[in-house]
Every structure is written in structure tokens, then in C-alpha cells.
Amino acid sequence: MTLEVVAGSAETDRIEVETRAAVDVFERAGEERMLAKAWELLAAVAWFSCRAQQTEDALEHAIRHAQAADDARTVAQSLNLMLGATLFGPTPVPQAIRRCEDVLADAGVQRRIAASALRALGGLRAMEGRFDDARDALRGGRAILEDLGLRVAAAQISETEGIVELLAGDPEAAEYALRFGYERLEEIGERFNFADLAALLAGALSAQGHNEEALRLATTAAQAAAPDDRSGQIHWRVARARALAGLGRLEEANPLAREAVRIAETTDFLDVHGDALATLAEVLRAHSRRREADELLRAALELYERKGNVVSAARSRAALESREGNASGMNN
């Protein structure tokens, strides 16, 4: 069972329980190859649920058993997913960058894995504020994928390109990158990552004031997100809440933003959680509920700092300082 099959399922809990039972059977039988595949499946389930640390732990088992079975394909697939967990999960940016660079320094690394390392490196460099380096890494990753004829993976890298441009404060460039990936996946009929791309594209449009189109895309993302797809479920709610808030429909935006935060709290995707908190803070600030909004911004700041996302942390800190200054001025 592949990651895409897990992503199309609404029964991830059942898959996890049955696979863990299979692990016990394979361990007793000493079936290294089957153990590798079982742990790879457990990693896919954890990834789909946005549990990056659990994904990494399962992948370490998968790689160890695959190496014992001389299963190079499973080793490569596991490394590929490990790099995604490195980008989105709780691994601090400096440590995550070293992991990517170690992969790229390996003379024998497969080109597909090098492309994944460059994609992750691009997102991580953007969190440091090194946007030119981030773009260079992503261009390198895309060039490899297109040269290998991997159209779906080349389209999916648009997600990270969009995130980089949003961090850089250029929503127009983010829209361009995300729309390319969105339209490519729509053309191919690929649904994995489609909800995330649609929602992020909606966010880029909202940032430019195009809230009606953003609202339509957020609806598309909601329809595309599988019930157990926590990333998609968080992203479409965040996108829809931002669009509604931009249209002045705050009473509708509030519960959506709160639900996005509730789902994000069950994950260890630190930036995704931080963005959900920041969105709810924006909605509450528009409601003139500044104290609660500031509490949420402080929580988002803590998550960004824990990840090492200095760009998002600086924005949260500046927003807090600005509000504190405004409150002080009102009291004078």
C-alpha cells in the first residue's frame, strides 16, 4: 500500500492497528523485507495524520529492515518521505538543513532523493530568510524531477515554492507558483496534495485582496481533502477563514479558524499549527478581541521559534509589539 493509497482512505486507524499486528508476525518470522514494508506503511499513516516525529521513527525502522533485506527501493522511498518530515515536522531548522546537506553530499544518492533534499532545503532556507538560496534549491529540485519525467512530483514542488514566496512576502509570486502546480495536478487528475495546493493558492489570493476567488478555491480544497487528511483539513479551513475575514464575514470565519487550530493541535507540524493560530488571531483582532488574539500570537511565536522559522517568528513578534505600542498609546 502506497502513501497515495493511504491518503485516499478514510480508515487510517484501522490500517495502523492491522499493520502493527503484522509487524509482530513478521518479527517472529524474521521477515526483513516485509518488516520494512510494514514500517513504511506505518510511516505513511503517521505522515497523513501530520505526526512527523512518529513518521521519522517508523522510517528509521523501515530503512534498517530494508537495508538488511537489500531492498534499495524501500530505502529510497523511506528517505524521500523522511525529507518531507524533516521540512514540516518539529526538527529544528539548523539540524534539518544539515540532514538535507548530508544527503546531497552523498556521491551515490539517487537523483530523485536529491530532488527531495533540495525541495526540503528550499523550504528551510526560506524560514531562515535566505530566499535567493531557497529559490535556487527549488529550481535545482524541479530541474531534476522534470528531467526524470516525474510530472506529478514536479507539480507538487509548487507547494514549497508557494510557501517560500509567501514567507518572502510576495503573494503574487506565490500565486504564480501555486497555480502552476494546481493546474498541472488538475490536468493529470492527481488528488494527492491537491487540497493543500488549492488551499495555499486561496491564501495567496486572499493576501492580494482577491477574496471571492479565494473562497471558491477554499471550497474546492474542502471537497478534495480526505476526511483523515489533517493537512488538507487544516489548510482549507485556514484559507476559507482568511477569505471570509477579508470579505468582512467574521462570524463565519471565527468557527472555521477555531476548528483549524483544534485539528492542528493534534499534529506536530509546527508551522502549520502556528499559521492556524495566527489566522485565528487575525480574525479575533478584527472582532476587537485583542487580548485573546495576542495570546494566540504568542503561542504561534513559540511554535515558530521552536522550529527555527525566524521569518514567521519575526512577523509574529512585530505584530505583538505593534499592538502593545498601540495599547500604550491609547492609555497615555
The domain limits of the chain are: 1-86, 89-190, 214-324
H helices present in the chain, as ranges: 3-7, 12-29, 32-48, 52-68, 72-88, 93-105, 111-128, 131-147, 151-167, 171-188, 194-207, 211-224, 230-246, 250-264, 270-286, 290-307, 310-331
Question: Does the predicted model carry a pTM greater than 0.85?
Answer: yes
pLDDT confidence of residue 332? 39
pLDDT confidence of residue 135? 98
pLDDT confidence of residue 1? 46
- Of 172, 238, 180, 254, residue with least CA distance to 205: 172
* Tens digit of pLDDT at every position of the chain (332 positions): 445 545 444 577 888 999 999 999 999 999 999 999 999 999 999 999 999 999 999 999 999 999 999 999 999 999 999 999 999 999 999 999 999 999 999 989 999 999 999 999 999 999 999 999 999 999 999 999 999 999 999 999 999 999 999 999 999 999 999 999 999 999 998 888 899 999 999 999 999 999 999 999 999 999 999 988 999 999 999 999 999 999 999 999 999 999 999 999 999 999 999 999 999 999 999 888 999 999 999 999 999 999 999 999 999 999 998 865 555 443 43
214-324 CATH, one of 1.25.40.10, 3.50.50.60, 3.40.190.10, 3.40.50.720: 1.25.40.10
pLDDT confidence of residue 262? 98
- Of 170, 113, 171, residue with least CA distance to 145: 113
> Three-state SS across 62-110?
HHHHHHHCCCHHHHHHHHHHHHHHHHHCCCCHHHHHHHHHHHHHCCCCC
Among left, alpha and beta (phi > 0; psi -120 to 50; other), residue 288 is left
Q: Which residues contact 27 (CB under 8 A, 6 or more apart)?
A: 35
pLDDT confidence of residue 5? 46
Radius of gyration of the chain (CA): 20
Q: Note whether 260 and 281 are within 8 A (CB).
A: no
Q: Which residues contact 159 (CB under 8 A, 6 or more apart)?
A: 178, 181, 193, 196, 197, 200
Q: Fill in the DSSP letter of residue 10.
A: S
pLDDT confidence of residue 11? 74
Question: Residue 202 is placed in which grid cell?
Answer: 486561496
What does the buried/exposed string (b/e) look like for 255-286 if buried means 16 or more CB atoms within 10 Å of the residue's CB?
ebbbbbbebbeebbbbbbbbbbbbbbbbbbbe
Q: Which residues contact 314 (CB under 8 A, 6 or more apart)?
A: none
Q: Which stretch of DSSP H or E encloses residue 189? A: none
C-alpha–C-alpha distance, residues 3 and 9, integer Å: 10
C-alpha–C-alpha distance, residues 37 and 23, integer Å: 9
- Of 38, 31, 82, residue with least CA distance to 59: 82
pLDDT confidence of residue 324? 59
